[in-house]
Amino acid sequence: VALPAATALVVLAILLATAFLPGPGAALRRVANVASGRNDPDTPDPLTTAPLDLHSLRRAAAIIGSGAFYVRAPAASPQLSAHDLPGVATLLFLPARPTTELRRADWILSYGVRPLVPHGVVARRIWHLAPSIALLEVRH
Amino acid sequence: VGLVAGVLVVNLALLAVGYALLAVALRGARLRVWISYGGVALATGAALVPVALCVVAVAGGRTNPAAFGAVAATLAVLGLALATLLPARRRALIAVRPRPAPAEGRLADVVAGAAGAALVAILIAVLIGGFRTTPWLDDSWFQWLPKGMALDRLGLDARLFAPSGPFRTFANPDYPWWWSIVTDLDVRAVGAVDLRALNGQLGVLLTAFVAATMRLLWGRVRPSLLCCGMLLLVAAPELLRQTQGGGADVPVALFVGLTAVAVFVWLRDGELLALALVAVFASAAIQIKDEGLPQIAILFAAATVVAWGSAGPRRIGLLWLAGTTALSAALPWLVWRRLHDVPSELSLGDGLHRLTAFDAGNRLHDAVVRLVHDAFAPRQWLVIVPLALVLSVGAALAGRRLLPLAVGLVLAIELLFWSWVYWSTASDADLQYRLTTSAYRVVVTPIVLAGLALPLLLEAIAGAARARRPLLQGRHPAKIA
């Protein structure tokens, strides 16, 4: 037992030491995502294809209670409007449920669209989270 | 409680449950034996608690921390009760029997130590990196974690989990919820929606997988071969990259792999604990992704064919009983899916229909080429698959038996299975997109199986060489005995 254990300790020490040196430890640093090996974002936020204002979305998440929510985004950007924004909103806004029908929504997130309050909707309250981003509580 | 502490709290609870369930087999063993079963215990707890929570969800409950605590406590009490109340002679049937590692020379000892240290260094880096990296795969935040959060906060709301009405249904509603539940528990314990918890959990699962595999194969494979084989698998850049993807492909591969190891130990040595672990690990594999069930079926079928002669019908029969037990844990979910008209994307009926309609086009060719390319890519997977194939032929020749060729058989069936999946579920128009976005992930399971076979094949070759050595040296085998 002594020989393999001693070897393991020596090799482990060498590997961990080289992890802090330029060159030899690059692979370990890349896996650990530290120092010069860092190649991925170290953030709690989801990595989306379309850039999203996560700060505003998290602010909205803190406001939204239960009920149903609807997201409005520019249709010209399907990645944003059909995937990234609804996905991140669902992640952050639960337990509110995502609906595909505006008239059923208790909450509406208008993201980069004008007007911020859609036609036919009466807003009980509006939070302006950022320029062109607003959260609406709907009066039914 | 913070990112790292939150994930650790969940995993310590799963570890405790696993130890309680293993207590019936570990009772009376030395402390160091208990410690050596840490990876097996964590994998056991991590497999069974979420599987039980899936049943809770179908029954109408939420999978929130209270349910987690109740399920964990129930399983732990059951395990401890079994360990306490089972008569000693019955307990002896399932008790662990640690085997000493086969003696090796000094050079082999040094190799084992060095490879083991490299393994530890990589796993440390994986754990650090997991907690410092947000997942790169959008499935992680688009479907896996939100499903778990919905099960936690709303319960199994059919308006979100089955295509219906005015609500936005989650993507891939046919996928089971094991990974969703695990990741939600992590996020809950962390106290915030922090996606890095998913990668941290993947790092912990990979560590548990390595520790459990080495424990189960310890004494059956020389330490130097075991450490080197595991090192080649864990050092594969693509495995490490996908461990930071946040998806369920790595967990399903790890649990199919652990099932394979337990199947090997059961069929080879007939240890009842290994048979129980087959049921435990297979139940998790089935409930992680749709493809878990067919891949477990492939594994069992291949094991039955190649081990029928050596293991005998009793062990084979009990193996299938364990598999049926694992499948039965998924029955509530399968029934719920059927009742809510959520068909599996992997439909045997659709596949056979297209097969009889000769509706292949070039899809089959394209799928096979892509899968083989991904499985053999040396920059991603080093030489795991070609080495496994070469060693299987070498072991078959060295031992003058066909059994090692099972590795190639399983790999071939796996690749044919995935080719069939792409062929039968993708149209000509979207095949390339689906291959590009998923083929590199679905090959993880067969490659993990190939990686796990490496130490076993090396041991088979070394064992055959040692058995022949006395004859080559002109000495009678009896003198050696």
Chain A CB within 8 Å of residue B174 CB: no
Judged by CB atoms closer than 8 Å, whether chains meet at A28 and B109 is answered as no
> pLDDT-based confidence at B48, cuts 50/70/90?
very high
Which among B113, B134, B154 has CB closest to A40? B134
On the question of pLDDT at B193 being above 80, the answer is yes
One-letter amino acid for residue A36 of the chain = S
Q: What is the pLDDT of residues A116-138, one digit of tens each?
A: 899 888 889 999 999 999 999 99
Which of these, A46, A54, A31, A27, lies nearest to B196 by C-alpha position? A46
Is the separation of the CB atoms in B42 and B11 below 8 Å? yes
Chain A CB within 8 Å of residue B125 CB: yes
Which of B134, B180, B214 is most worth mutating to test chain A (most A CB atoms within 10 A of its CB)?
Answer: B134
Lowest average pLDDT, out of A11-15, A89-93, B66-70, B87-91, goes to A11-15
**Which residues in chain B are closer than 8 Å to A31, comparing Cβ atoms?**
122, 125-126, 129, 240
Is the separation of the CB atoms in B212 and B258 below 8 Å? yes
One-letter amino acid for residue B32 of the chain = R
Which among B113, B140, B193 has CB closest to A5? B113
Judged by CB atoms closer than 8 Å, whether chains meet at A94 and B116 is answered as no
CA atoms within 13 A on the CB side of B456: 24
On the question of pLDDT at B274 being above 70, the answer is yes
pLDDT average, residue stretch B217-240: 95
Judged by CB atoms closer than 8 Å, whether chains meet at B195 and A45 is answered as yes
**Which residues in chain B are closer than 8 Å to A88, comparing Cβ atoms?**
141
Q: State residue B401's pLDDT score.
A: 84
Q: Tell me which chain A residue has its CA closest to the CA of residue B171.
A: A87
Q: What is the pLDDT of residues B405-461, one digit of tens each?
A: 889 989 999 999 999 888 887 777 788 888 999 999 999 999 999 999 999 999 999
Chain A CB within 8 Å of residue B134 CB: yes
On the question of pLDDT at B33 being above 50, the answer is yes
> pLDDT-based confidence at B352, cuts 50/70/90?
low
- Which residues between 58 and 117 in chain B have a beta carbon less than 8 angstroms from any beta carbon of chain A? 106, 109-110, 112-114, 116-117
Chain B CB within 8 Å of residue A87 CB: yes
β-pairing, A97-98 vs A68-72, is parallel
> pLDDT-based confidence at B474, cuts 50/70/90?
very low
Q: State residue B17's pLDDT score.
A: 98
Q: What is the pLDDT of residues A76-90, one digit of tens each?
A: 889 999 999 999 999
Judged by CB atoms closer than 8 Å, whether chains meet at A31 and B146 is answered as no
The alpha carbon of residue A126 is apart from the nearest alpha carbon of chain B, in Å, by 23
Judged by CB atoms closer than 8 Å, whether chains meet at B132 and A47 is answered as no
Neighbours of B279 (CB within 10 A): 22
How does B13-51 read in b/e, with b if 16+ C-beta sit within 10 Å?
bbbbbbbbbbbbbbbebeeeebebbbbbbbbbbbbbbbb
Which among A7, A11, A91 has CB closest to B141? A91
Q: What is the pLDDT of residues B68-125, one digit of tens each?
A: 999 999 999 999 999 999 998 888 889 998 888 877 888 888 899 999 999 999 999 9
Helix B249-269 crosses helix B196-217 at what angle (to 10 degrees)? 10
Helix B196-217 crosses helix B3-26 at what angle (to 10 degrees)? 20
Chain A CB within 8 Å of residue B441 CB: no
Chain A CB within 8 Å of residue B2 CB: no
Is the separation of the CB atoms in B127 and B203 below 8 Å? yes
Reduced 3-state DSSP string for chain B: CCHHHHHHHHHHHHHHHHHHHHHHHHCCCCHHHHHHCHHHHHHHHHHHHHHHHHHHHHCCCCCCHHHHHHHHHHHHHHHHHHHHHCCHHHHHHHCCCCCCCCCCCHHHHHHHHHHHHHHHHHHHHHHHHHHCCCCCCCHHHHHHHHHHHHHHHCCCCHHHHCCCCCECCCCCCCCCCHHHHHHHHHHHHHCCCCCHHHHHHHHHHHHHHHHHHHHHHECCECHHHHHHHHHHHHCCHHHHHHCCCCCCHHHHHHHHHHHHHHHHHHHHHCCHHHHHHHHHHHHHHHCCCCCHHHHHHHHHHHHHHHHHHHHHHHHHHHHHHHHHHHHHHHHHHHHHHHHCCCCCCCCHHHHHHHHHCCCCCCHHHHHHHHHHHHHHCHHHHCCHHHHHHHHHHHHHHHHCCCHHHHHHHHHHHHHHHHHHHHHHHCCCCCHHHHHHHHHHHHCHHHHHHHHHHHHHHHHHHHHHHHHHHHHHCCCCHHHHC
Q: Is residue B358 exposed (0-12), middle (13-18) or buried (19+ Cβ within 10 Å)?
A: exposed
One-letter amino acid for residue B106 of the chain = R
On the question of pLDDT at B212 being above 90, the answer is yes
Mean pLDDT of chain B: 91
Judged by CB atoms closer than 8 Å, whether chains meet at A44 and B194 is answered as yes
CA separation for the pair B167, B155 (Å, rounded): 15
Which of these, A71, A138, A140, A60, lies nearest to A109 by C-alpha position? A71
More confidently predicted of A93 and A2: A93
How many angstroms separate the most distant Cα atoms in chain A? 79
Is the whole-model pTM more than 0.80? Answer: yes
CA separation for the pair A88, A90 (Å, rounded): 5
pLDDT average, residue stretch A8-17: 81
Q: Tell me which chain B residue has its CA closest to the CA of residue A90.
A: B146
**Which residues in chain A are closer than 8 Å to B196, comparing Cβ atoms?**
42-44
The alpha carbon of residue A74 is apart from the nearest alpha carbon of chain B, in Å, by 18
Is the separation of the CB atoms in B151 and B330 below 8 Å? no
CA atoms within 13 A on the CB side of B427: 2
Token digits of residue B402: 């066909």
A100: DSSP letter = S
More confidently predicted of B311 and B149: B149
Token digits of residue B472: 């080559």
A139: DSSP letter = P
Write the ipTM: 0.91
Q: State residue B359's pLDDT score.
A: 59
pLDDT average, residue stretch B118-146: 95
**Which residues in chain B are closer than 8 Å to A48, comparing Cβ atoms?**
138
Q: State residue B469's pLDDT score.
A: 64
Q: State residue B476's pLDDT score.
A: 42
> pLDDT-based confidence at A36, cuts 50/70/90?
low
Token digits of residue B289: 């992704």
**Which residues in chain B are closer than 8 Å to A32, comparing Cβ atoms?**
124-126, 128-129, 132
Which of these, B55, B292, B77, lies nearest to B181 by C-alpha position? B55
More confidently predicted of A68 and B355: A68
Q: Tell me which chain B residue has its CA closest to the CA of residue A61.
A: B193
CA separation for the pair B294, B407 (Å, rounded): 17
